């Protein structure tokens, strides 16, 4: 049985997916059904490091991120989108309730729920860590978008670092730059 938390956190992913799906589908249909060759990332990106002391992290964003409470009101979502909404960059920190699950079970539920909730295929996944905290990196792909995730669990805090890009605009260099910039402050 999936936890209520995992279902709520999928709303972040679904919002990004839905906002990019129509753009990605339009781009694919304009190119005869085949996505264009990947570019080097969003034009006009002005990468800067943003520090969020209250949420204990920093990350490089390609534009000034906006922030808002997450859908479950358990934390804060920081996000920036560029290039006519073809790229979206997210960091979300959420306070978890007692789930009585191991980190591996939590990550597995999240990966499977995200794939199902976006009608995407799991392309890859692997365990990762940051400052000794457990994590999971995974990639989902749908007909229109590619989603690169990193999840980190620090006690009862779940950090979700995510890049969503239309397939025609996906850039591994830009994705890696964002994902690798995420750091815990303490």
Residues 136/160, Cβ–Cβ less than 8 Å: no
Residue 75, pLDDT score: 80
Residue 129, strand partner residues: 134
Rounded distance, CA 165 to CA 78, Å? 17
The model carries a pTM of: 0.77
pLDDT of 17 higher than 80: no
Residue 172, pLDDT score: 80
Residue 60, pLDDT score: 95
pLDDT of 21 higher than 60: no
Give the pLDDT band (50/70/90) at residue 42. low
Name the residue among 91, 92, 88 with its Cα closest to residue 165: 88
**What is the average pLDDT across 163-185?**
89
Of the listed ranges 36-50, 72-86, 148-162, the one predicted with least confidence: 36-50
Neighbours of 5 (CB within 10 A): 20
pLDDT of 38 higher than 70: no
Domain residues of the chain, as ranges?
4-184
Better-scored residue on pLDDT, 25 or 59: 59
The structure tokens listed for 170 are: 């996906």
pLDDT of 3 higher than 80: no
**Three-class SS of residue 66?**
strand
Decide: residue 69, CB within 10 A, 0-12 exposed, 13-18 middle, 19+ buried: exposed
Residue 2, pLDDT score: 36
Residues 125/148, Cβ–Cβ less than 8 Å: no
Output the CA torsion 114→115→116→119 (10° steps): 120
Is the CATH number 1.10.20.10 carried by domain 4-184? no
Residue 98, pLDDT score: 82
Q: Mean pLDDT in the chain?
A: 78
Of the listed ranges 2-6, 46-50, 94-98, 106-110, the one predicted with least confidence: 2-6
Better-scored residue on pLDDT, 180 or 75: 180
pLDDT tens track for 126-170: 999 999 999 999 999 999 999 999 999 999 999 999 999 988 877
């Amino acid at each position: 049985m999936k936890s209520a938390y995992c279902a709520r956190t999928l709303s972040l992913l679904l919002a990004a997916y839905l906002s990019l799906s129509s753009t990605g589908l339009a781009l694919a249909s304009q190119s005869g059904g085949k996505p264009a060759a990947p570019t080097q990332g969003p034009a006009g990106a002005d990468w800067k490091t943003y520090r969020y002391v209250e949420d204990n992290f920093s990350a490089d964003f390609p534009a000034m991120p906006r922030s808002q409470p997450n859908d479950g009101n358990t934390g804060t979502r920081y996000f920036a989108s560029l290039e006519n909404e073809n790229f979206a960059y997210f960091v979300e920190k959420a306070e978890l309730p007692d789930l009585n699950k191991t980190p591996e079970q939590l990550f597995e539920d999240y990966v499977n729920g995200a794939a199902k909730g976006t009608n995407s295929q799991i392309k890859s996944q692997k365990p990762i860590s940051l400052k000794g905290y457990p994590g999971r990196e995974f990639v989902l792909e749908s007909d229109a978008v590619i989603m690169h995730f990193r999840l980190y669990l620090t006690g009862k805090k779940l950090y979700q670092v995510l890049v969503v890009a239309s397939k025609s605009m996906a850039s591994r260099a830009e994705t890696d730059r964002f994902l690798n910039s995420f750091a815990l402050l303490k």
